Structure 1
Amino acid sequence: MTLDLSKRILTDPYSKAPAILLIGKSGAGKSTLANMLIGEKKFKTSDNSGSSTSSSTQICQSALICLDGEEYNLVDTPGIFDTKRPNDKMQNEIARSIVQCSHGLMAILFVIDFQAAGRYTKEQQTTTDAILKFLGGQEESCRHIIVVFTHCRQKQTEDRFFMEEGFSADLKLFLNKIGWRWVIAPDPEIFKEPNDPVVERNMNDLKHYIRLLPIYYTTELFKKVRIAREKELQEIESNEKKTTNEKIDAGLAVAKHEFRGEGCFPLHSKVILTDGRRIEVSQLSIGDKVCCGEKNGKLIFSEIYAVVHTDNQTVTQYQRIDYLKSDGTEGTLRLTPKHHLFVSQGKTIFAEDVRAYETELLLFDGKKLIPVIPHRVTREWELGYTAPLTQSGKIVVDDILCSCYAVAPPYQAIIDFVMVSFRLYSWIMPISDCNKEIHPYIRYLKRGQWVLEQIDYFNTIIKRL
């Protein structure tokens, strides 16, 4: 759905009102809840979006709302932590949501489709953890969360005690963590009458919970975006040619940079050192030697010579690959979708191209590498990433043989050759500290990525002949 920014971001760009943020999966009913809370249809919903191809709104929307004399910025988000990979348009919408929260968070309305999520699955728990970390950590965000259930049946909506009987143990545990603050957004297909008392009662309960919340809070991310936004707005004021849309999107570039799908490995992924110890990849230091495979029954270790970028706050999307180890226990590898990993033919592929029950990966069983076929491939969001480089260009992570490279077309031997210059550079100028920005020399080398892209293009044509 495409709408002009000024028709969906209704908040004054100069407003400093803290946000009431609606989060949840796409199609959960966030936009419908926003309209209920406002008392009029200001937000576009899937029913009136005019789109026949989307089951839900995939845009950021906002409007000012007044509760007990206090002004807040009500922000409706796209499905921020949906498992599908966000495209550029979706990343822009996510960034706009962050911009609209740059003056702090008063309340986080966690919208859950009860019919689809009443059991509160492991995937939903993982998503919840990612949301809490992203919004300032478990302790702070839990003090501001209110759960809003949608798509509930009539009896569940009318009888709170009957509704609670359907809560799973895991859901009850989560609700206890947030102070048992929950309400129902009545289904408009059931409660159709204007000023329906059931709708009014639930919305009044929601407003009551918001009034009882502590003072609004902020995070380092929101502070950074607010500073950038205020600076850009000052620059816009001095330029008469700037448009309303540019005012609305002030700070967008900084927000988008903080929410991305780049990186390599999650911080908690495990690697194997020469003495057999397994440590988290975030604990690696330059000079450490890690397992990178085996040859003729002998383990091979390779030295870490650089960590090209790392960060513990950026929200990153990972490809989650579940497989069975040789002893029957379940293993899990997480890496960014554009990262390379080895398949049994000795080639490398993108992680996003791994297929359950089809792709043969290489599993380290403690002595040698053996083929393994994953039984589940999904997407997850986590905070943080790190990207270590070994002299061999290979590394065993969570018992799976991976490449150290990403993004460029997966031609391991060619990238190894190209990286010789960086290994020489790091030997002359040792790389001690790294940050979230990719090392400038690697950025320089990426200018030659088009060569690999051309090779990949011609290989694709040849395969089709």
Structure 2
Amino acid sequence: MLHMNRLGLPIILILFKLIFVTGAPPSPVKLVVNNPGSESSSDRSNNGVSPKSSAATASSSSSSCFSSDTFITLSNQKQIPIEQLRSADELLTTDGSIIFPTQMMIMLDKSKFSQAMFHTITTASGHNVSLTELHLIAIIKNDNTINYVPAKQIKIYDVVYVMSNDKLVSSIVTNVIREMKTGYYAPLTTSGTLFANGILTSCYANVHSHKVAHVAMSLLRFYHWLAQLLFINEPFGHQDMEGMHVVPKVMYELAQFLYPSALRFS
């Protein structure tokens, strides 16, 4: 069993390559870099976002994470710091109708001491969460369906789902600020979503579509399910080390190769 545990992750990464890589050359990806001497329209308007300090103009060192002061709700209603999440922990999430359990799979990226720029979103219900700018968060559209948008696009009066007194309710965004914080974490669950500080958020970032990102992780979820059947502990390897895990590195490489238009760079 230990032998399977050591081989499992390399095997799944090889499968990703064999299944998805076709040999076609990657499409060129255009990165837009703002002129340091000019102010972009987003900087001028800020979508109603106000900087908390002069550090707010700095760029984030990570673009897909929660701040280290985030608390996650487990299925037993216990709140734990995000840094304490471990593979197979049972968390809570929602599809917009009911609250149900989801399982922690892997910590995609983490750094306890690195600084990053966050958008801190506060709701009328008193909830708040800090996300890096390209991390997706769920908002409720006029037809009561869920749309996932980058944190930097959240505006005052947007409506989000929150968990209050163990019930799912909607709440209006009342404030959004940018602020530097120390420490960030990027957990991935089987549902691709979770409640962070009681607010429904996606586990994905740097993509245009939450649904596309979730489909792309299907093989990863299958491997996680298979590892549990085979009683493999830590199917994605030891996760106590700092930095980005090899899995998102491979997935990002494949996305650039096969579907670069799905990625979001700004």
> Structure 1 or 2: larger helix share?
1
Structure-to-structure mapping, 1:124-143, within 5 angstroms: none
Alignment partner for residue 82 of structure 1, among 40, 50, 54? 54
Counterpart check, 1:260 vs 2:61: yes
- Within the candidate set 372, 375, 389, 2:188 is matched to 389
1:271 corresponds in structure 2 to 72
Listed as ranges, the matches of 1:31-70 within 5 Å are none
One of 317, 325, 339 as aligned partner of 2:117: 317
Quick one: structure 1 residues 448 and 376, their matched pair in 2 at CA, closer, same or farther if it must change by over 3 Å?
same
**Kept in 1: contact 2:104–2:187 (CA 8 A):** yes
Name the structure where strand makes up a greater proportion of residues. Answer: 2
1:436, CA displacement in angstroms? 3.2
Measure the CA separation in 2 of the matches of 1:83 and 1:343.
Answer: 27
* SS of 1:262 mapped into structure 2: coil
SS, match of residue 301 in structure 1: strand
Count of aligned positions: 203
What is the percent sequence identity of the aligned residues? Answer: 18
In 2, distance between residues paired with 1:456 and 1:284?
Answer: 27
- Find the aligned partners of 2:156 and 2:74 in 1 and give their Cα distance: 29
TM-score normalised by length of structure 1: 0.40
User: For 1:35-184, what aligned pairs fall within 5 Å after superposition?
Assistant: 82-86=54-58
8 Å CA contact 2:108–2:187 kept in 1: the answer is yes
The answer to whether residue 187 in structure 2 is matched with residue 380 in structure 1 is no
The residue that corresponds to 1:282 in the other structure is: 83
Once the two structures are TM-superposed, the CA of residue 392 in structure 1 deviates from its matched residue by 0.5
Residue matched to 1:417: 215
Amino acid at match of 1:293: T
Cα shift at 1:453? 5.2
Determine the C-alpha separation between the residues in 2 that align with 1:323 and 1:452. 35
Matched letter for residue 361 of structure 1: V
**Matched residue SS, 1:370:** strand
Return closer, same or farther for 1:423/1:376 CA change in 2, 3 Å cut-off.
Answer: same
Q: Secondary structure of 2:173's partner? A: coil
RMSD: 2.7
The whole-number CA distance in structure 2 between the counterparts of 1:302 and 1:350 is 22
- How far 1:447 moved relative to its partner? 2.4
Mapped to 2, the partners of 1:390 and 1:415 lie a distance apart of 12
Residue 262 of structure 2 corresponds to residue 442 of structure 1: no
- The question of 1:344 aligning with 2:140 is answered yes
Following the alignment from structure 1 to structure 2, what is the Cα–Cα distance between the partners of residues 344 and 421? 29
Q: How far is 1:375 from its partner? A: 1.3
Alpha-carbon offset, residue 396 of structure 1: 0.6
Give the match's secondary structure for 1:307: strand
Deviation at 1:293, TM superposition (A): 1.8
- Counterpart CA distance in 2 for 1:448 and 1:52 is 34
Cα distance in 2 for residues equivalent to 1:456 and 1:391: 21
Residue ranges of structure 1 left out of the alignment (5+ in a row): 1-50, 55-80, 88-258, 458-465
